Amino acid sequence: MMTDFTADHTWLQLQHELSLRKLIEGSEYQGELKYDFNIKGELRHLDTNESFVFNYYKNAHDQNHKRYQVLGHLITKYVYELLERLCMLQKVYIPTDATEDEPRSFFFMSENALTTSSSLTVLLQDHGVFRAGQWGQRTIVSEGLEHGTQIPFIKRALQSHGGVIVLNPNDNFVDPKTEKERLSFSTREESLRQSMWCIPKRGSSSPEEHTLYVWDHFISKSAAKDVAFIAHGYGGLVFVDLLVQRKWEVMNKVYSVAFIDSRHNTQHQARSDPQTQAWIQQYCREWVLNSKPLDKAVGSLVKVNCPTVSAGTEKYGLAPSCCLPAVFKYLKSALKAKTTPAFRHSPVATRSSTSKKRGNK
């Protein structure tokens, strides 16, 4: 079961203190973006109670697109606040040795994420404009916070698995625009011209670099001996990249990975490493878009790398929320069945060593 926002007392209290509407209240955009999240976490128009309408301006795609971008920026700020105030997560800035004026990225983690000896769950999202705490911005707009954010996963992870880390793999550049400029309804051409001046953030210039940095400086050093990853879309490719880069560390610390409609390709990313391929086959499971009921086995003709089951939906944006109960059931089972890791750094067998063994018999 997912988080029931209507039954969450903290959420109900925050409804009086924090709202999307307050982020733009009193500004020149309150007429164009007269929306807020209701008690169920659904985005609705304040007057009509209707869902978000993209075509607000007639025959003006660029203007409508910019309006949607402004909404997305506000949703990002809103979700950040929910992560801190609803989920009680801490914002951690990186790189840890950044100078005072250096651009920084950040991620979120629970208070005891690095010190608890119980297991740690790491959430790794798809590639896109959305940031930490979101599975998909479009899904948040159309389906609500319960389906589009990672909040139900965070709460379930905290209840079931101890610590949690929410990565922020898409926060790669510093936008030199001011807050006012970012929220302005400038044309797409102006936005593209301004984006050319974006500055990469050290340690987070790409999803792969961000994940590797957090692994090296935080996850690998955590007290948790059992780490699980939940990776959606491009996040799956990023995890496999991490596995290739930090093979033995990952194999000995990560007990299971739940891929959700992943973009990874084992044959391409680890084509010359049968041990990595075997580890993925044994310790990972993927939920793919399919019309079959949730968790039913699905054969894959495109790639064979780990057991593949149905996500219970053919809609990409709904895949994470539909998979939630099955994912945590799988992780619980994997943790329970966990034994001493079979994949440890050991000398690679050679023909000569094999021959010597045979000769000694």
**Full DSSP string of 265-307:** -HHHHTTT-HHHHHHHHHHEEEEE--SSPTT-B---SS--SS-
- At residue 152 the predicted structure's pLDDT band, cuts being 50, 70 and 90, is very high
Give the pairing type, strands 284-288 and 254-260.
parallel
> What mean pLDDT is predicted for residues 146-157?
96
pLDDT in tens, 262-298: 988 776 676 668 899 899 999 999 999 999 999 999 9
pLDDT on residue 78: 94
For residues 310 and 277, is the Cβ–Cβ distance under 8 A?
A: no
Nearest 10 degrees: Cα torsion 59, 61, 64, 69:
180
What band does 177 get if pLDDT is binned at 50, 70 and 90? low
Query: How many CB atoms within 10 Å of residue 61?
Result: 11
Residue 109's nearest CA partner among 117, 121, 119, 118 is: 121
- Band of pLDDT at residue 353, cut at 50, 70 and 90: very low
Reported confidence tier of residue 301, pLDDT bands at 50, 70, 90: low
User: Omega into 347 within 30° of 0, i.e. cis?
Assistant: no
pLDDT at site 23 = 84
Is 0.85 topped by the overall pTM?
yes
What does the pLDDT look like over 85-135, one tens digit per residue? 999 999 999 999 999 889 999 999 999 899 987 899 999 999 999 999 999
Rounded CA separation 318/321 (Å): 6
- Bridge partner list, 268: none
Query: Does residue 346 contact residue 234 with C-beta atoms inside 8 Å?
Result: no
Q: Is the pLDDT of residue 361 over 50?
A: no
Q: H helices of the chain, where? A: 9-17, 20-24, 61-85, 137-143, 145-148, 151-161, 179-182, 188-195, 207-217, 234-245, 247-253, 266-269, 274-283, 319-337, 351-359
- Predicted confidence at residue 359, as pLDDT, reads 44
pLDDT value at position 221?
Answer: 95
pLDDT at residue 352 above 50? no
pLDDT value at position 180? 57
Backbone angles phi, psi at 30, to 5 degrees: -65, -25
- pLDDT level of residue 28 (50, 70, 90 thresholds): low
Q: Residue 1: its pLDDT value, please? A: 43
- The token duo for 342 is 């079979």
Q: Is 95 in contact with 130 (CB distance < 8 Å)?
A: no
pLDDT score, position 9: 73
Is the pLDDT assigned to residue 171 strictly greater than 60? yes
Mean pLDDT, rounded, of the chain: 85
Would you say residue 304 has pLDDT above 70?
no
Which domains are present in the chain?
88-359 (3.40.50.1820)
